[in-house]
Amino acid sequence: MAPAGRNQALALGAEQLTPRQRQAALLLAQGALPHVVAAQIPVGVSTLRRWRQAPGFQAELTRHLAAAEADAHAQLLGYSDMEHLMVAAIARYHRRSLPKKRHESWQLIEGREQRRTVAAMALLLRLAVALDRRPEPVLAGLQLRRDGNSGCSIRLEPMRADQDLSLERWSLAGCAAAVEEAVGVRLSVAEA
């Protein structure tokens, strides 16, 4: 049994969570990464891990996820069921693994052209997120250069000459494996 006060959410129901635990569940349900949630609340990542194991916290997280899904469907009025599935798949695959035949969300998308659209949009969104890592804009543009038959080099152009774009270069380089797996293009990020 956990020591008293160490992790009060372990044995408590969702109605007895602290305001910080409720905020953590909300941020996680909205797609925030655990280390970002831990920094924003602020708590340690290990504390957040313990909270996530608690039944009350899991119930709160599930409630927020269900509400977010209901909101997503309500906000997409006018779209067909297939378009809803495509938007959901784009949201999933821009962050997580690339589409696999065994994924239920991928199997639900019926047409080959629709699957191509989802894969392409998820990859573009993944790259866009990699380039937009800060609250303020720092990129004036980018240059693409073809390197042989299966390579592509990207050079980032800062808005100001003294701006450090190492975060964006690092984040973009992190997408290289997914780009190569998805479309067979070796992505490299050129230094300024």
Distances in Å between the alpha carbon of 17 and those of 38, 89, 163, 187? 16, 32, 43, 45
Asked whether the predicted pLDDT for residue 177 surpasses 60, the reply is yes
SS3 (DSSP) at 89: helix
Asked whether the predicted pLDDT for residue 13 surpasses 70, the reply is no
Q: For residues 84 and 63, what is the distance between their CA atoms, to the nearest angstrom?
A: 21
Q: For residue 40, what pLDDT band results from cuts at 50, 70 and 90?
A: confident
pTM over 0.95, yes/no: no
Q: For residues 166 and 120, what is the distance between their CA atoms, to the nearest angstrom?
A: 26
Helices (H) and strands (E) in the chain, counts: 9, 3
- CB of 120 closer than 8 Å to CB of 128: no
Q: Is the dihedral of CA 14, 20, 26, 28 positive or negative?
A: negative
Tracing tokens 């290990």 back to the chain, one arrives at 46
Burial of 105 (0-12, 13-18, 19+ CB in 10 A): middle
pLDDT, tens only, 44-78: 888 888 888 888 888 888 887 777 676 666 666 77
pLDDT, tens only, 71-124: 666 666 777 878 888 888 888 878 777 878 887 778 888 888 998 898 889 899
Which pair of tokens denotes residue 61? 């997280």
Smallest CA-to-CA distance from 75 within 64, 62, 63, 88 is with 88
Which pair of tokens denotes residue 141? 């543009």
Distances in Å between the alpha carbon of 172 and those of 46, 76, 112, 119? 28, 30, 28, 18
Q: What is the largest CA-CA distance in the chain?
A: 63
Q: For residues 136 and 126, what is the distance between their CA atoms, to the nearest angstrom?
A: 19
